[in-house]
Amino acid sequence: MVKVAIISTAAIPSPPAGVYAGVEAISYNLAEGLARLGNEVTLVTTNESEKIGLFQAKNQSNEVVGTLEVKATGPTDWGPMGERTMFKNYVGWLQINFGDGQGVVIDMSWGGWPYVLMTGKLGLAPHLNMKVIHVCHAMANWYHPIENKFAVPPVPFPRMIGVSATQASYLSNQYGVPVRFVYNGINLPPYEKLDVSGGSNVAAPNNSNPFLLSLNRISVEKAIHDCIDVAFRTNMKIKIVGADSWVEQKYVADIVDKCHFSNGQAEYWGHVDTNTKWDLIKQCKAGIFCPNPTRYVEAFGINVVECNALGKPVICLKNGGHNDTVQNGVNGYLCNNVDEMVATIKSGSLDAINHDMCRLAAERFSVENMSRGYSELINGVMSDSNQYKW
């Protein structure tokens, strides 16, 4: 049994209390998964988590194999100082329990506060023996202004991982250090084969109300406006779903207006709860994802997997993690630009995608597979072998 701390963000509680979320859901899924693999896990999150306290993890024989403690550290705060405040509340506990390398810290915070703690640059004593793995769920964000380049903080062993092979390669090129990866994983929802005419189980149109589903945070780098334009150009309806509270509000207002003046072709839903998300995926024709590659590298794209998990195809721009999750023509389509997306939809290619193949593609990205990947890294770091100092 290994002692493990997983540090979530301060933006949304983990697990989210009925709210649809990304990193925070991944953090909790991993905490549960590692506990079931026989570890002593603490998940550091905010007071609003729907599960606070100590829980036992049991195997299929109902035997206790590990533990999970969900530790509250203060109010949820998606503001720019939220993570720093959260860090101040748990740093003493972290120093006592993990400062001398007694276990492994999996840091999923946006700012990488536990990772930087090792350097002594936060006005605190450096913890050179602390075993921290920093999981980057976004683009490179540590920039050295004097050297005018991206550079990781000067930690003894820059154990950084990405959440897709494509993103890990990007991070490695930016930072100049080796970066490993472990795919994100979801709790796969129940899947019922869709009843379609002809028995082919391909993505036959929903003749009553076919629509595309944009399942992204409402931000300019996710290019929601391009998703809407693709729908307009293909004469399809579209529903816009995604987090809209901690993003640029002018862009949100622009998207709301674009939907409002579309004569019902585009519907704005904004932030929805988990059950609503699954219902919308079940009803949609396909998921659509247009993150702008000139502004943003898609780390993984968990929404692609969620659509596939219910047998729905996706159409995506070739950006970051989409290259890992989408097999062109099997569970969706990868396109070079918006014009190519429009042509693909107009050609009827989405109708040729097999629902069962979509589900099979999603099963690669299960919580169990993610947990096993992290477990291998944890055991390697604890063994202190050179290969895991990467």
Give the rounded distance of the alpha carbon of 119 from its chain centre: 27
How many structural domains compose the chain? 2
- Tell me, yes or no, whether 246 and 354 share the same domain: yes
- The alpha carbon of residue 339 and the mean position of all alpha carbons in its chain are separated, in whole angstroms, by 27
Instruction: Encode pLDDT of 104-140 as tens digits.
Output: 999 999 999 999 998 888 888 888 889 999 999 999 9
132 and 220 in a single domain? The answer is no
For residue 191, is it within any domain? no
Give me the domain span that covers residue 332. Answer: 197-365
User: Residue 19: which pLDDT band, with cuts at 50, 70 and 90?
Assistant: low
- Taking the mean position of all CA atoms in its chain, how far away is CA 107? 14
Say whether both 210 and 173 belong to one domain: no
Residues 182 and 267 in one domain: no
What's the pLDDT tens digit per position in 311-354? 999 999 999 999 999 999 999 999 999 999 999 999 999 999 99
Amino acid at position 189, single letter: P
CATH code (residue 32): 3.40.50.2000
In a domain, 207, yes or no: yes
Q: Which residues of 37-60 are buried (b: 16+ CB within 10 A; e: fewer)?
A: bebbbbbbbbebbebbeebebeee
Q: Does residue 16 surpass a pLDDT of 90? A: no
Residue of 240 and 22 predicted with greater confidence: 240
HSE value, Cβ hemisphere, 13 Å, CA-based, for 203: 34
122 shares its domain with 201: no
**Confidence (pLDDT) at 200:** 46
What pLDDT, in 10s, does the model give residues 174-229? 999 999 999 999 999 999 865 544 444 554 444 456 899 999 999 999 999 999 99
pTM of structure: 0.92
Provide the 8-state DSSP code for 239: E
| Whether residues 262 and 116 fall in one domain | no
From 157, 92, 167, select the one nearest 122 (Cα to Cα): 92
Residues 184, 137, 6: CA angle, nearest 5 degrees: 70
Q: Write out pLDDT tens, residues 137-184.
A: 999 999 888 889 999 988 888 999 999 999 999 999 999 999 999 999
248 and 170 belong to one structural domain: no
